[in-house]
A and B are shown apart, each in its own frame.
Chain A
Amino acid sequence: MKRDAPHDCPRIEALSLLIDDEISGSARRDIEAHAASCPICGATLRDFGELRGTLGALGRTSAGIDIAALIDERLPPRPAPAARPARRRRGWRWQLAPAGLAAAGVLATGAYLGMVLGGGGAVTVARTPAVAVFDAVPPGGLCVAPVCYGGGR
């Protein structure tokens, strides 16, 4: 406060707090009573009140312009590197990776359960007589070892 206030005047902080309704009760009444009789504090309180109204109105005022568009106009044209979309696509794919893994897991689990529950666990291979000669024991043979047939030593 630039004006010279008498010594019994409240501090400038008290007047500011009064404007903000941060003082209540007897303290508030004392300051208001003093401001009513003190030309300096009374004028300061009025100034603060007017200031509050002015600044409060500023907060509700819209500039009415699109500042982003004005800035965009002044910026030089942006080069469009091909790397940026590619990077974005890669990121997009990685985002789907967990979902893909989960889907693969569900499919694998389903196939396994289908095999077990449907009897597919015991896979049977159709044997034909034509391929029996490739078996470890030839057709009619009783011995697994090749020495039994005179071919191995």
Chain B
Amino acid sequence: LPAEQRQAILLREIEGLSYAEISTVLDIHEGTVKSRIARARAALASAVRESES
């Protein structure tokens, strides 16, 4: 994953931060947080599917 997506998804899934908190920590807009997390999830899900097939 690109570093920016990795940061966002780890803060959300591992650290359990809310979108607003991630926005504050990374100093980016909340909308950017949402899109980065969504793209990270899509990329990870795609990687998992490819590794399973």
Contacts and interface: CB of A to CB of B under 8 A. Distances in A.
B42 interface: yes
Interface in B1-53: 9, 12-16, 19, 34-35, 37-39, 41-42, 44-46, 48-49
B45 A48 contact: yes
A9 B14 CA distance: 29
A59 B14 contact: yes
A119 interface: no
Contacts of A58: 13-14
Contact of B13 (A12, A15, A50, A59): A59
A55 B14 contact: yes
Given A2-B42, A52-B13, A47 B49 contact: yes
Contacts of A56: 13
Given A47-B48, A48-B41, A55-B9, A13 B35 contact: yes
B16 A51 contact: no
Nearest to B31: A13
Nearest to B19: A22
Given A2-B42, A12-B42, A56-B13, A17 B48 contact: no
A46 to B, nearest CB: 9
Contacts of A50: 48
A51 B38 CA distance: 12
A131 to B, nearest CB: 84
A54 to B, nearest CB: 8
13 contacts: A12-B38, A12-B42, A15-B38, A17-B34, A17-B38, A20-B37, A22-B19, A44-B42, A47-B45, A47-B49, A51-B41, A56-B13, A59-B14
Interface of B: 9, 12-16, 19, 34-35, 37-39, 41-42, 44-46, 48-49
Chain A to chain B: the 9 pairs with minimum beta-carbon distance, closest first: A16-B38, A55-B13, A47-B45, A59-B14, A13-B38, A12-B38, A1-B42, A2-B46, A48-B41
